[in-house]
Amino acid sequence: MNDKGLSRRDLVAGLGIAAAGLATVPARAAVPQAAGQPLAGVEGIPDPLDRRLRWAVVGLGNFAVAHMIPAFLQSQHARITAFVSGDPAKAADLGARFGVSRFYDYKTFDAIARDPQIDCVYIALPVGLHAEYTIRALKAGKHVLCEKPMASTSAECRAMIAAAKAANRQLGVAYRVHFDPFNQQLARMVADGAIGAVRYINVDNNFDANPAFPPHAWRLTKALGGGGSMFDYGIYGLNGTLMMLGERMPLDVSAIYTTPAGDPRFAEVEGGVLWRMRFADGVTAQGGSSYATAHVNRQLIMGRTGSLALDPANGYDHNVARLRKPDSPDAAIETVSSLPQFAGQIDGFSLAARANTPHRTPGEMGLRDISLIEAIYRSADAGGAIITLQPANA
């Protein structure tokens, strides 16, 4: 079921009949068809197929196949028309299952420029390939939603942003948490003063990397991972912290590495890092990321009159929040599901592309985060020195 109470079957069926009839329109929706108005764009009602933004998915890996591709079936403004993969058999199999019949590989990729059946490109490749394929897609005249982290360096991020400007196309970074109803609910509570003025935030994003598992293996290389635990998983804590603080920028950053000594997994990238940020008003944030502990994904927001503990904080679903106040018992808060975040992100980017207006999490946000991670690494390389951020990063 989606958040509108429609089952996936209803939605899929609805796509086929949207132009012909209204059998799957929920009775409770405010539908203006009696006045003869078009349905497309009415909240809660999927666009007919011919009005949807057409997407190519690049890289048919773990995350794309398990989470993003299925989410297109729940989207209202998007559909997949093409797969780009180095594995033709996998692409054909997925094509048969998802009704996709246009295929490209990494050599033929630039031919998407001549394919009018593609409006948007979703890049789900290893990080070290994000910049190259994003820029190629932008040069082909397509809008691009690129997975996080945006790229391996801030220089690459800048080149991607410049390519989007030159092509007059939108570039978004796939920070799904900004489309997550749970995190949106918590951010609203913080902004509305549920815990008083925020004093500090503490985040942790760890898992134990397994070099025998292909999606972890490339994450342990500098060329494809870009960086280590901070790049891949710590970025959720960093980006989530700034989201909860209303996208304020810190004054300075410091950090130390926590890589286990002698662990052969971490010859190229860091196995862990602890960072701190200070903000102009005295608010502080600190976070940990590690590829060398059991899984954890949590956020503690300390306010003057209470605290919010999110654990897990930004998982795919089943995130949990507890509110603690001095005069009341520790209470789990009733929260909404995080599952709509995937289709929500796809639809958000589709609407941005259709209007050619910036996505909620644009390339500039990706650049900000990679620049902050570079400052974190600079500090850790210097044994924890405080790095004052330049106005360009602020």
Query: Which positions are annotated as active-site residues?
Result: 148, 236
**Which is closer to ligand NDP, CB of 6 or CB of 339?**
339
**Which is closer to ligand NDP, CB of 93 or CB of 263?**
93
Is residue 279 a contact point for ligand NDP (CB under 6 A)? no
Given 60, 140, 198, 244, the residue binding ligand NDP (CB under 6 A): 60
Q: Do β-strands 53-58 and 78-84 pair in parallel, antiparallel, or remain unpaired? A: parallel
* 74 Cβ neighbours under 8 A, 6+ residues apart: 2, 8, 11, 340, 342, 343
Given 14, 61, 226, 234, the residue binding ligand NDP (CB under 6 A): 61
**Which is closer to ligand NDP, CB of 57 or CB of 190?**
57
* Residues of span 168-227 touching ligand NDP by CB under 6 A: 174, 176, 214-215, 218, 224
Q: Do β-strands 120-123 and 143-146 pair in parallel, antiparallel, or remain unpaired? A: parallel
User: What is the spatial distance between Cα 374 and Cα 189, in angstroms, rounded to a whole number?
Assistant: 31
Given 126, 237, 271, 303, the residue binding ligand NDP (CB under 6 A): 126
Is residue 317 a contact point for ligand NDP (CB under 6 A)? no
Q: How many CA atoms lie within 13 A of 228 on its CB side?
A: 28
Is residue 235 a contact point for ligand NDP (CB under 6 A)? no
**Across the strands, what pairs with 144?**
121, 171
Is residue 88 a contact point for ligand NDP (CB under 6 A)? no
Can you tell me which residue has the tokens 């209202």? Answer: 76
Given 12, 29, 48, 63, the residue binding ligand NDP (CB under 6 A): 63
Given 74, 76, 81, 85, the residue binding ligand NDP (CB under 6 A): 85
- Per-residue 3-state assignment (H helix, E strand, C coil) for 352-369: HHHHCCCCCCEHHHHHHH
3-state helix, strand, coil in the chain (%, to 5): 40, 20, 40
Binding footprint of ligand NDP on the chain (CB under 6 A): 59-64, 85-87, 90, 124-127, 129, 147-148, 174, 176, 214-215, 218, 224, 232
